Amino acid sequence: MAKIRLIKTYDGKSPDDCLEAAKIAFPNSGFEIFKIRDIAWLVIAHNNKNTNLIEANISARPQAVCANVTFSINCSKLDKKALQQYLEKIISEFEKAI
Q: Tens digit of pLDDT for each residue in 47-82?
A: 997 778 999 999 999 876 778 999 999 999 999 999
Structural domain boundaries enclosing 23: 2-97
Q: Tens digit of pLDDT for each residue in 28-52?
A: 999 999 999 999 999 999 999 777 8
**Separation between Cα atoms, residue 8 and residue 67, nearest integer Å:** 8
Question: Residue by residue, what is the 3-state secondary structure of 70-88?
Answer: EEEEEECCCCHHHHHHHHH
How many structural domains does the chain have?
Answer: 1
H-run or E-run covering 34: strand 32-37
**Separation between Cα atoms, residue 30 and residue 8, nearest integer Å:** 22
Give me the CATH number covering residue 92: 3.30.530.50
